[in-house]
């Protein structure tokens, strides 16, 4: 019962097959091959506009270099306190932007509160405080919730007021997308998203992360930024080959639907249980559940893998003494049998 | 006839197969899986000592982070003027070390001249000049030559005099290794190499680069350095799986031998030709040949892919007016037929 | 009535005189002159031990380079939320450390709460979170309060637990010193302070800031760090000459006493007033007072210069609707007449 | 006989007097005072256009932040091999630009050769090489020579071709200016200079360095760049006061004329001597002379202070075995008596 993280899964067989298919043959390096170019074209189609796409090695690289591409001296990026770029990237954004700051913004359930955002941005209004440089949201959020398109637009409105680019960390982009049932364009640039970290790794690839600039004009310097950060693969087509299979026949959507549906199945088990309760409603493939510490220990003995989370301010009140807030993540590789076995254990 | 670069090749079928084999199943992320650990153990065996191994995304990352791991304020790394880390990394070493300097050292055929090195190092002897921080050599060199073990030891002697770590850029490590017929230990730490960029990508992997610290004590801070540089893969085992197949049954040595032997075969064709001559003797899988510009144009028309090189000082004298210095690179995927076809064309 | 900041004052006549006295004559540059060396010796005497002293251009430089001297990859410095290094240095600490993070710690009245500190430090315990790198306290604090020696020792205890250096921002060091009536040693290294930003500018110099390493062994790389940051003055003795006069005949202590006594005089006026009240007891030369917005406007019309402050969490509750929290700063150049005129206005 | 460097001198009495005059009184901090603004206006007059002026602490800061203000990812600044920014700034330009590179360009007598420059710039033409970012020239050069206005224009032409800003390191700006007898405008923006490090320190100030943007539009982000680099003085008017006296009654021109005329007087002594010869004609206040090592030793015994220089390629041929190339620098504070005493010693 692997619910530790969606990055504990391997890769979808179709992706492995495609890597095998491209194993032989020669192609030009550094992202210039026919296959690389074809995948870039697919991104244009998916986003219903010409975008600029750059493969990078990790989601952290995508998030950090997105910020580097809009960096300013004394610059500050605003993100939710629980955002990956603040909590889990080991200083990469600060380092790769040459020393910018990440300002945590609070809001319930992993989502930036617009008033808090506006107040935080307004505080950086002189040379001694520093200057606002970007806003970053995560979709699906680190709490397994999401922003409705209109909520993204509301954040974007603050960005426009202050002339700030809006970045979306889409490590679980597809899980949010199929959950909302909207188009990639509707979840991004039509709501004012300027730069997207498009993640394929957590959704069934080995290593497939792309930075997408909705307006290619923004990406003029990015080839230099990526090379300077040592993020340009020589055999770049091994990423392209993964994305080729990923998009082929809507595999990406199918994998995310599978992950989400397994999460839904688990949520139903939890709702029916007396031993464990949903901390809040899941919107994708991440479930946050509260249980007794003893229950958690027993489940782990029985083979369930999942993490305890430090509950932030808002969420702390939900957790009673002797309880723990846990995160359970499903993926394309999660089976109904695993879920149902877990369901049995929590009965 | 693909002689542009060894990174135009794909991957060996056995490596693709191993990626498929590991596609299913769950494993812990960020380099902590059983497979990751097993591959680390293999590195220990190959180097006949306990080493510290870290996978990174690119050779440029390996070279740059090697330098970052020994960075000093006002620090200067010394490398051959033609070294990849000086000529081809787009400022990554300077950037990822927080602004250190690369000082080019001259020497014939891509190899650092020891006297030049000593003189260059001695020049950085105060706070205004800056301070020496590392020496980096490339093995196989960017000119397709190599350092004999004793020559590495001679450079290492200068390093010891000045208290400098010695880094080896081993993008074509295995090509040099099988050419010399010595052991990895004899080509590295036994001659004083402290940190190695161990490259698998150019020798038949998709993406398999590792930074190897010969003394694990030197690597204490490196997990933070790698994470900060956004170079820690979540599904790290997709690198480990490549290395597993790479080392299995000496595939790595076989692929390098194939590449070198194809280069040897090409060199023989060239030696027998009146239209083209070897610029100098190749020692691995890179041939530098001089030919008339018209010959080069004709060969390209006939389907041969290769690059013209800017000849540095020493080598410039070898090239006459109307001629060009070209580089032809073979790989594990080069066939005798390709080579012989090229041989026919230059007759 | 200049209460905007102590850096609005000029310099003490004795310091100007000493600059004139040293105007003629030649001396070696870059901090190597006899005068520079003599002032370094004075620092040793003042601190009752051999320390390493480095002049830099600004207090921000001192604070930032103190952090740079102990920087780690993924490193985090902990300071009070209102600390100058967090709130007023325009990203210099992040930039000059190569991208470290400043983590704000809360506590009433500008002073770090030890439990909050311990909790914050404990949160950075893995490669993804980052690693603790330093703790910085301000003495006199930005709220005009101070740490008793024992309170510094308590913070130092947390530092020792986690192996962290303790930095003190002493922009108003002397104001705190004469307020406590203790020795420099008792306020610093005897309580565990490792690195001190020793400020003379706010206390009557033109530009005299020094970074003091209590253990000279810590300063081995600092000459390179300072030069790399473009903070090494060629005519360094113009700083030394200021410090020479500063320390001569206890001028520095006298100037701080004058500033503090003027603040005390102002506090007495405020305590006697019905129109304005002390937000909390001042401990040095900074008074925080709460008054009606209308009162503040009227005082400014009458020629009083002072700033409104954004009250942080704890302090916000002290300020009622329609009121403002103001800061009034005295200096060596403040006269009793100014204070008494202000006293008249608030009656 | 102080000929080691012009930064071994103190400050002109008029400058010390002005510092004393401004010692009392209050003024707003951080460069916003009336005096600061008045000096900015003086710069406009001197340069016959509206310029943007920023005081910084050191010449190294001015040079480095000039580059930081035009930094690009993978960026490269081109300067003469002997340029201060390459040879003497301890890595500050690389560090403060976030890791850009300095590419040394050769040319006789400290002056960039235009053909060499064009060739060097042309070499950085792709993402792996990096991209040109700026050209920097020094006026007076580090070899005591200068660029005629037309020669500056020729370098500027290359800059325009490649879209590069032209920076001038004017640590000895005034010495060059009075030597050429032209106006500041004619020596800078009329020839295409975009950014100027305007140095007052070597010419009779304590510490007075300014960065001048010929087009204020280029300086939009510079307040943040300066603050982030910890180079914003709180009592900025202590710099302004120096510049006020510096420009008053053409003191700056008089001091440079005195320095240059003392150098001329020394050159005449040298030309008349059999024991020492001019390496080349001095154009300002720096003399390069060649003498026997034994002569140099004797002169030092007799109290003359001066440095030996490492002669670069072109100049090396001028120095015979057993000889040394020396640099002798005069300043506003050099007296005819000192010069003539030296003249006696070399007879």
Q: pLDDT of A267-324, one tens digit each? A: 999 999 999 999 999 999 999 999 999 999 999 999 999 999 987 777 888 999 999 9
Residue B5 included in any domain: no
Nearest CA in chain D to C19: D16
C131 with C211, same domain? Answer: yes
Q: What is the pLDDT along chain B (347 residues), one digit of tens a residue?
A: 999 999 999 999 999 999 999 999 899 999 999 999 999 999 999 999 999 999 999 999 999 999 999 999 999 999 999 999 999 999 999 999 999 999 999 999 999 999 999 999 999 999 999 999 999 999 999 999 999 999 999 999 999 999 999 999 999 999 999 999 999 999 999 999 999 999 999 999 999 999 999 999 999 999 999 999 999 999 999 999 999 999 999 999 999 999 999 999 999 999 999 999 999 999 999 999 999 999 999 999 999 999 999 877 778 889 999 999 999 999 999 999 999 999 999 99
Nearest CA in chain A to C75: A91
pLDDT digits (tens, 9 = 90+) for A218-234: 999 999 999 999 999 99
Which residue, among A99, A124, A132, A316, would best test binding to C if mutated, counting the most C CBs under 10 Å from its CB? A99
- Select from D72, D221, D227 the Cβ nearest to the Cβ of A224: D72
Backbone phi and psi for residue D320, each to the nearest 5 degrees, phi listed first: -85, 165
Instruction: List the one residue out of A171, A177, A223, A178 whose CA is nearest residue A202.
Output: A171
B65 with B141, same domain? Answer: yes
pLDDT digits (tens, 9 = 90+) for A113-151: 999 999 999 999 999 999 999 999 999 999 999 999 999
Residue C178 included in any domain: yes
Q: Quick one: pLDDT at residue C122? A: 96
Q: In Å, how far are A86, A101, C64, C89, C127 from C93, measured between CA atoms? A: 18, 10, 4, 7, 21
Contacts with B95 from chain D: Cβ below 8 Å:
73, 98-99
Contacts with D95 from chain B: Cβ below 8 Å:
73, 98-99
Peptide bond into B101 cis (omega under 30): no
Residue D219 included in any domain: yes
C232 with C257, same domain? Answer: no
Which residue, among D228, D231, D233, D234, would best test binding to A if mutated, counting the most A CBs under 10 Å from its CB? D228
Query: Taking the model in full, what pTM does it have?
Result: 0.97
Q: Is the pLDDT of residue A43 over 90?
A: yes
Domain that includes residue B321, residue range: 251-345
Q: How many CB pairs under 8 A join B and C?
A: 41
D217 with D113, same domain? Answer: yes
Is C245:C286 a contact under the CB 8 Å cutoff? no
Residues of D with CB under 8 A from a CB of B: 73-76, 87-91, 94-102, 123, 127-130, 310
Query: Is residue B342 helix, strand or coil?
Result: helix
Number of domains, chain A: 2
Q: Is the pLDDT of residue C313 over 90?
A: no
Q: Kindly determine whether residue A73 and residue D130, on different chains, have CB atoms separated by under 8 Å.
A: no
Peptide bond into A254 cis (omega under 30): no
Instruction: Give the separation between CA B166 and CA B213, rounded to whole angstroms.
Output: 11
Query: Is residue D278 helix, strand or coil?
Result: strand
Q: 10 Å Cβ neighbour count for A29?
A: 22
Mean pLDDT by 10 residues, chain D (347 residues): 93 97 93 96 98 98 98 98 97 98 96 98 96 98 98 98 98 98 98 98 98 98 98 97 98 98 98 96 97 96 94 84 96 97 95
For residue D138, how many C-alpha atoms fall within 13 Å in the half-sphere facing its CB? 29
Q: Quick one: pLDDT at residue D253? A: 98
Domain CATH for C300: 3.90.1150.10
- Take residue A307 and report the two structure tokens written for it: 């993490």
**Would you list the DSSP string of A45-106?**
HHHTS--EEEEES-HHHHHHHHHHTT--TTEEEEEETT-HHHHSSTTHHHHHTTS-EEEEE-
**Region class of D106: left (phi > 0), else alpha (psi between -120 and 50), else beta:** beta
Strands (E), chain D: 52-56, 75-80, 101-105, 131-138, 166-170, 195-199, 209-213, 276-278, 286-292, 307-308, 323-329
Residue D8 included in any domain: no
Smallest Cα distance from A156 to chain D, Å: 24
Query: Is residue D147 helix, strand or coil?
Result: coil
Q: Which one of C198, C231, C249 terminates a domain?
A: C249
Smallest Cα distance from D188 to chain C, Å: 24
- Select from B88, B89, B130 the Cβ nearest to the Cβ of D90: B130
Q: Kindly determine whether residue D5 and residue C29, on different chains, have CB atoms separated by under 8 Å.
A: yes
Residue C7 included in any domain: no
DSSP annotation of B104:
E
Q: Quick one: pLDDT at residue B316? A: 86
Q: Kindly determine whether residue D128 and residue B88, on different chains, have CB atoms separated by under 8 Å.
A: yes
Nearest CA in chain D to B64: D99
Q: Kindly determine whether residue C207 and residue D235, on different chains, have CB atoms separated by under 8 Å.
A: yes
Contacts with B134 from chain D: Cβ below 8 Å:
none
- Tokens 């900041």 correspond to what residue? C5
D261 with D207, same domain? Answer: no
Q: What is the ipTM of this complex?
A: 0.97
C172 with C255, same domain? Answer: no
D242 with D334, same domain? Answer: no
Smallest Cα distance from A193 to chain B, Å: 23
DSSP annotation of A2:
B
Q: Is the pLDDT of residue C314 over 80?
A: no
Residue D53 included in any domain: yes
Q: Is the pLDDT of residue A28 over 90?
A: yes
Domain CATH for D115: 3.40.640.10
Report H helices in chain A.
13-21, 34-47, 59-68, 84-87, 92-96, 114-122, 149-162, 173-180, 184-187, 222-228, 237-247, 251-271, 293-301, 313-316, 336-346
- Take residue C77 and report the two structure tokens written for it: 């410095």
pLDDT digits (tens, 9 = 90+) for D282-300: 999 999 999 999 999 999 9
Q: Which one of B218, B249, B280 terminates a domain?
A: B249
Q: Is the pLDDT of residue C118 over 80?
A: yes
Contacts with A73 from chain D: Cβ below 8 Å:
68, 221, 224-225, 227-228
For residue A77, what are the β-bridge partners? A102, A134
- Select from A96, A100, A310 the Cβ nearest to the Cβ of C91: A100
User: How many residues comprise chain C?
Assistant: 347
Q: Kindly determine whether residue C26 and residue D229, on different chains, have CB atoms separated by under 8 Å.
A: no
- Take residue B147 and report the two structure tokens written for it: 């350092």
Instruction: Give the separation between CA C260 and CA C243, rounded to whole angstroms.
Output: 20
- Select from C10, C29, C228 the Cβ nearest to the Cβ of D24: C10
Contacts with B127 from chain C: Cβ below 8 Å:
30, 223-224, 227, 232
Residue A27 included in any domain: yes
DSSP annotation of D139:
S
3-state SS, chain C, equals CECCCHHHCCCCHHHHHHHHHCCCCCCCCCCCCHHHHHHHHHHHHHHCCCCEEEEECCHHHHHHHHHHCCCCCCEEEEEECCCHHHHCCCCHHHHHCCCCEEEEECCHHHCCCHHHHHHHHHCCCECCCEEEEEEEEECCCCCCCCCCHHHHHHHHHHHHHHCCCEEEEECCHHHHHHHHCCCHHHHCHHHCCCEEEEECCCCCCCCCEEEEECCHHHHCCHHHHHHHCCCCCCCCHHHHHHHHHHHHHHHHHHHHHHHHHHHHHHHHHHHCCCCEEECCCCCCCEEEEEEEHHHHHHHHHCCCECEECCCCHHHHCCCCCCEEEEEEECCCCCCHHHHHHHHHHHC
Instruction: Give the separation between CA C319 and CA D157, rounded to whole angstroms.
Output: 62
Nearest CA in chain C to D97: C95
- Select from A19, A60, A228 the Cβ nearest to the Cβ of B16: A19
For residue C214, how many C-alpha atoms fall within 13 Å in the half-sphere facing its CB? 19
Q: Kindly determine whether residue B228 and residue C131, on different chains, have CB atoms separated by under 8 Å.
A: no
- Tokens 């004619």 correspond to what residue? D186
Q: Kindly determine whether residue D99 and residue A228, on different chains, have CB atoms separated by under 8 Å.
A: yes
Q: Kindly determine whether residue B127 and residue C98, on different chains, have CB atoms separated by under 8 Å.
A: no
Q: Quick one: pLDDT at residue A123? A: 95
Q: Kindly determine whether residue A233 and residue B57, on different chains, have CB atoms separated by under 8 Å.
A: yes
Residue A8 included in any domain: no
- Tokens 């770029």 correspond to what residue? A85
Q: Which one of A249, A270, A296 terminates a domain?
A: A249
Nearest CA in chain C to B97: C98
A102 with A206, same domain? Answer: yes
B244 with B214, same domain? Answer: yes
Instruction: Give the separation between CA D279 and CA D275, rounded to whole angstroms.
Output: 13
C154 with C278, same domain? Answer: no
> What mean pLDDT is predicted for residues A7-30?
95
Contacts with A130 from chain C: Cβ below 8 Å:
90-91
Q: Quick one: pLDDT at residue A91? A: 98
Q: Quick one: pLDDT at residue B310? A: 82
Task: Give the containing element (helix H, strand E) for B197.
Answer: strand B195-199
Smallest Cα distance from A98 to chain D, Å: 6
Using CB atoms, which chains have 3+ pairs under 8 A with D? A, B, C
C77 with C191, same domain? Answer: yes
A142 with A181, same domain? Answer: yes
């Amino acid at each position: 019962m692997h619910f530790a993280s969606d990055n504990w899964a391997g890769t979808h067989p179709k992706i492995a097959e495609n890597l095998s298919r491209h194993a032989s043959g020669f192609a030009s390096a550094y992202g210039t091959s026919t296959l690389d170019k074809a995948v870039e074209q697919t991104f244009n189609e998916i986003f219903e506009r010409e975008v600029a796409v750059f493969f990078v090695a990790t989601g952290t690289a995508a998030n950090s270099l997105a910020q580097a591409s809009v960096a300013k001296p004394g610059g500050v990026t605003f993100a939710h306190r629980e955002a990956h770029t603040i909590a889990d990237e080991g200083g990469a954004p600060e380092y790769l932007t040459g020393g910018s700051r990440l300002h945590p913004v609070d809001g319930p359930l992993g989502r930036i509160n617009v008033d808090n955002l506006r107040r935080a941005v307004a505080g950086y209004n002189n040379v001694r405080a520093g200057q606002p440089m970007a806003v970053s949201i995560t979709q699906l959020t680190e709490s397994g919730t999401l922003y409705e398109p209109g909520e993204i637009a509301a954040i974007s409105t603050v960005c426009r007021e202050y002339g700030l680019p809006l970045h979306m960390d889409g490590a679980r982009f597809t899980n949010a997308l199929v959950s909302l049932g909207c188009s990639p364009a509707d979840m991004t640039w039509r709501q004012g998203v300027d730069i997207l970290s498009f993640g394929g790794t957590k959704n069934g690839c080995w290593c497939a992360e792309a930075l997408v600039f909705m307006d290619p004009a923004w990406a003029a310097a990015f080839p230099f930024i990526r090379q300077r950060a040592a993020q340009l693969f020589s055999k770049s087509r091994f990423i392209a080959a993964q994305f080729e299979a990923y998009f082929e026949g809507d595999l990406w959507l199918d994998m995310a639907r599978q992950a989400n549906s397994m999460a839904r199945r688990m949520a139903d088990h939890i709702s029916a249980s007396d031993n464990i309760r949903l901390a809040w409603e899941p919107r994708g493939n991440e479930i946050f559940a509260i249980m007794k510490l003893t229950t958690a220990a027993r489940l782990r003995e029985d083979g369930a893998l999942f993490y305890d989370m430090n509950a932030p301010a808002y969420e702390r009140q939900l957790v009673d003494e002797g309880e723990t807030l846990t995160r359970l993540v499903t993926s394309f590789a999660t089976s109904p049998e695993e879920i149902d076995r877990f369901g049995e254990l929590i009965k």
